Amino acid sequence: MIHEDYYNGLNRLLEGIFILICKFDFCSRNAYNVTYMLQLTEDSFEQSLQYFRNSSAMNLTDVTFIDPYGMVGLLEIELLRKDGIQKTLNLPASDEVLKYLERMDFFEFTDKYFKLEPSRPLLSEKYLRSCYSDVLLEITAIEKSDDIHFIVGRVKERAYSILAKNLHYDETTIDGFIVALSELCQNIVEHSDNRGFVGIQKYYFNNLSKNVVKIAVMDLGIGFRKSLSERFPLRGDLDAIEMALFYGASRYSDEGRGHGLPAVKRFVHQWDGKLSIRSGAARLSIIPGWARGKEKETNLFPFPGAQINIMLPEM
Amino acid sequence: MVGYNLYRLLKEELKNGSNDLVTRQTGQIIRDRIERDIAKESDRMVIAIDFSEIGVIDYSCSDEIIAKLMSRLLSGEYGDKYIVLTALNENQKENIEVALERKDLAVIAEMRENGKILVGRLNNYLVETLDLIFQKGSITASELSDALKLPANTSGTRLLNLHKKRLAKRVSERRSDGTVWVYSSLTDMFVSEDSELGVMSSG
């Protein structure tokens, strides 16, 4: 199983920073950089963005851990390209990571965006489904309202086995979780001209001795700043995220708008979770006692849309 | 009172098998359908929107369906009609409440458990008056004045405000001492003799 605990020691050692080794391919007319990454998560997203965005290849050969944020991040980075040229994606050498990518339906989206090297692995569906029962939602595209009905339906099917059993959520809390998820996904439908992605996975954190559910939602829409700038004077991306998250600011003047994100924040806070929203060149995080990270980050590598990460621990 | 089964409407309008009221677009579709149906109802009809077979309702749908219906009901768009909610669970109530509070609206609801409550925002003095209407079933300004020791014009204003917020029915009645306005509960069908309104309000 690709459990977080397996990598805790490694994660601490790396402190969220990936290892980059530049190699030069002398067989090629144009030498290119090959990036060697060990993990693909929110912590390594900034580096992934900088190195993968304009490179001709994404080398994941050495990746030993990838979470939903890492997966949807890769898809979004590639989706941003408008040149129509398929980038080469060097698949992880680890069988476990490959199985997990397959289980998360990552390969359902790769054919359109990537040339896989080696080609897509052939793995038994039955084996995969039984092996990774901690998946609450595979990587799922969001383009329209019906997609959200599908997502909500799928999460409800698995809510008992994951949210009730592992996070000890009762029925009301599960409903709250589903509503929060719906609101997050709706931002994509409402604000993005492009497709977004969502994925959810349960992990066991050894250092906390707790189960933790990770939710990643991303889109390449107009982002918070552009969305709000017509109605509010803003100092930057961070200001825009704060306005939406803390004050329910919306691009629409209707008072009924803007409930979603503050409600998500309330839910995450109530259940001692971690929430981070990255948009443009800023990230705002709400960090509980058990987690680490910076609350406010600016001057990040600019990236359109919004990238949201939520971690909810068991009660 | 006429019941609108939300699940049936969802099934007929969306055709995707979902029993969840999620997304603003879904809310718009369901509200449009409810508005078309309300237009066919006679005046003074109480429309009971039934949540019994509904799973979750998110904030966007709560705003798009319930808050907008109540807002338009109050502005007179649907004529002299009333709306109540039935068979709400706790989570549905909370999400609807957020949507109503933002727009300073309130609606009477019957919970799946714990009886009827007021969901949304209403001044405390109006809650007190509404509670009395629920206890008595119906009341006049004069009876309210006697019960709460209020000046006659204050009682009349309170009752009229509840009627304007579509939280109490108003009918004229001829009595020995003349014609009076009688204000009555919208939810006679699920009001027990000794029940009181479980108030969820803010002043």
Q: Are A91 and A194 contained in the same domain? A: no
Cβ pair A256:B103 closer than 8 A: yes
Which range of residues forms the domain containing residue A220?
A: 133-315
Higher pLDDT: A208 or A132? It is A208
pLDDT at B199: 46
Q: Is the dihedral of CA A139, A144, A145, A146 positive or negative?
A: negative
* Same-domain check for residues A119 and A159: no
Average pLDDT over residues A159-169: 91
Q: Assign residue B13 a region (left: φ > 0; alpha: ψ between -120 and 50; beta: otherwise).
A: alpha
Domain identity same for B40 and B64 = yes
* Same domain, residue pair A106 and A141: no
Min Cα separation A214/chain B (Å)? 21
Give the mean pLDDT of A102-109: 91
Number of domains in chain B: 2
pLDDT number for residue A192:
67
Please give the mean pLDDT across all residues of chain A. Answer: 84
Residues B48 and B99 in one domain: yes
* Percent of chain A topping pLDDT 90: 56
> Looking at the structure, do residues B130 and B113 belong to the same domain, yes or no?
no
Q: Are residues A98 and A175 located together in one domain of the fold? A: no
State yes or no: pLDDT of A299 exceeds 60.
yes
pLDDT digits (tens, 9 = 90+) for B23-37: 999 999 999 999 999
C-alpha–C-alpha distance, residues B142 and B124, integer Å: 20
| Residue B58 pLDDT | 96
Q: Which of B19, B56, B105 should we substitute to test contact with A (largest number of A Cβ atoms within 10 Å)?
A: B56
| Residues B127 and B92 placed together within one structural domain of the fold | no
Residues of A in contact with B64 (CB under 8 A): 256
Residues 6+ apart with CB under 8 A from A246: A262, A265
Q: Tell which wins on pLDDT, A84 or B168.
A: B168
Partner residue facing A260 (CB), from B20, B26, B60: B60
Mean pLDDT over A216-222 rounds to 92
> Does residue B136 share a domain with residue B112?
no
| Whether A179 contacts chain B with CB within 8 A | yes
Q: Residue B111: pLDDT above 70?
A: yes
Size of interface A-B (CB pairs under 8 A): 83
Q: In this structure, are A217 and A85 located in the same domain? A: no
pLDDT of residue A83: 65
- Assess whether A147 and A50 both reside in one domain: no
Is B32 in the same domain as B97?
A: yes
Average pLDDT over all residues of chain B: 90
Mean pLDDT calculated for residue range A48-63: 84
Burial environment of residue A120 by CB neighbours within 10 A (0 to 12, 13 to 18, 19 or more): middle
Last residue of a domain, one of B98, B121, B144: B121
pLDDT of residue A84: 67
Among the partner residues B17, B20, B91, nearest to A172 by beta-carbon distance: B91
Which of residues B121, B140, B161 is at a domain's end?
B121
B65 and B22 in a single domain? The answer is yes
- Rank A17-31, A35-49, A112-126, A192-206 by mean pLDDT and report only the highest: A192-206
**Number of domains making up chain A:** 2
Could you tell me if B102 and B7 lie in one domain?
yes
The closest CB to that of B18, out of A149, A189, A260, belongs to A149
Q: Do B37 and B129 lie in a common domain? A: no
Give pLDDT tens digits for B143-185.
999 999 999 999 999 999 999 999 999 999 998 878 999 999 9
Given this model, what pLDDT does residue B55 score? 95
* pLDDT(A93) > 60: yes
> In chain B, which residue's Cα lies nearest the Cα of A256?
B63
Hey, are the CB atoms on A149 and B56 less than 8 Å from each other? Answer: no
Whether residue B83 is predicted with pLDDT greater than 70 in this model: the reply is yes
Does this model's pTM top 0.90? My answer is no
The verdict on A80 and A148 lying in the same domain is no
Average pLDDT over residues A114-129: 71
Do the Cβ atoms of A182 and B58 come within 8 Å?
A: yes
Q: What is the pLDDT of residues A229-278, one digit of tens each?
A: 999 999 999 999 999 999 999 999 888 898 899 999 999 999 999 999 99
Q: Say which CATH number the domain at B175 has.
A: 1.10.10.10
A244 and A123 part of one domain:
no
Residues A224 and A137 in one domain: yes
**Where residue B91 sits, what CATH number does that domain have?**
3.30.750
Tell me: pLDDT of A121 over 80: no
Same domain? B154 vs B86: no
Chain B CA closest to residue A261:
B59
Section A130-138 average pLDDT: 76
**Are A152 and B56 within 8 A, CB to CB?**
yes
Query: Among A83-87, A179-183, B51-55, B178-182, where is mean pLDDT lowest?
Result: A83-87
| CA distance to A78, A79, B107, B119, per residue, from B122 (Å) | 51, 49, 9, 9
Distance CA A272, CA A152 (A): 22
Asked whether the beta carbons of residue B16 and residue A149 sit closer than 8 angstroms, the reply is yes
Q: Within this chain, do residues A34 and A79 fall inside the same structural domain, yes or no?
A: yes
What ipTM, to 2 d.p.?
Answer: 0.85
Q: Which residues of B touch A175 (CB under 8 A)?
A: 55-56, 89, 91
- Which residues in chain B are closer than 8 Å to A145, comparing Cβ atoms? 23-26
Question: Are B98 and B21 within one domain?
Answer: yes
Q: Which of B18, B89, B91 lies nearest to residue A153, judging by beta carbons?
A: B18
pLDDT band at A117 (very low <50, low <70, confident <90, very high): confident
Domain of residue B19 covers 1-121
Q: Which of A45, A99, A35, A37 is nearest to A71 (CA)?
A: A45
Which pLDDT value is given to residue A33? Answer: 41
Is A85's pLDDT higher than 90? no
| Together in a domain, A216 and A299 | yes
Q: Which of A134-138, B1-5, B188-192 is the least confident region?
A: B188-192
Q: What is the CATH number of the domain that holds A262?
A: 3.30.565.10
Residues A237 and A109 in one domain: no
pLDDT at residue A47, rounded to an integer: 86
DSSP string, chain A: ---HHHHHHHHHHHTT---------TTSSS-------SEESSTTHHHHHHHHTT-SEEE-TT--EE-HHHHHHHHHHHHT--S-PPEEEE--S-HHHHHHHHHTTTHHHHHHHEEEESPPP---HHHHHHH-TTEEEEEEEE-SHHHHHHHHHHHHHHHIIIIITTT---HHHHHHHHHHHHHHHHHHHHH-SS-EEEEEEEEEETTTTEEEEEEEEEE-SSHHHHHHHTTS--SSHHHHHHHHHHH---SS--TTTT-HHHHHHHHHHHTT-EEEEEEETEEEEE--TT----SEE-SPPPEEEEEEEEEEE--
Residue at a domain's end among B82, B100, B121: B121
Per-residue pLDDT, averaged over B124-136, amounts to 93
> What is the percent of chain B with per-residue pLDDT over 70, rounded to a whole number?
92
Beta carbons of A256 and B67 less than 8 Å apart: yes
Greatest mean pLDDT among A121-125, B132-136, B162-166 lies in B162-166
* Residue after which a domain boundary falls, among A109, A132, A155: A132
* B172 plus B73 within the same structural domain: no
Which residues of chain B does A179 touch, with a Cβ-Cβ cutoff of 8 Å? Answer: 22, 56-59, 91, 95
Question: Are A149 and B103 an interchain contact pair (Cβ–Cβ within 8 Å)?
Answer: no
A182 to chain B: closest CA residue: B22
What's the rounded mean pLDDT across residues B51-72?
97
Give the pLDDT mean for B54-61: 96
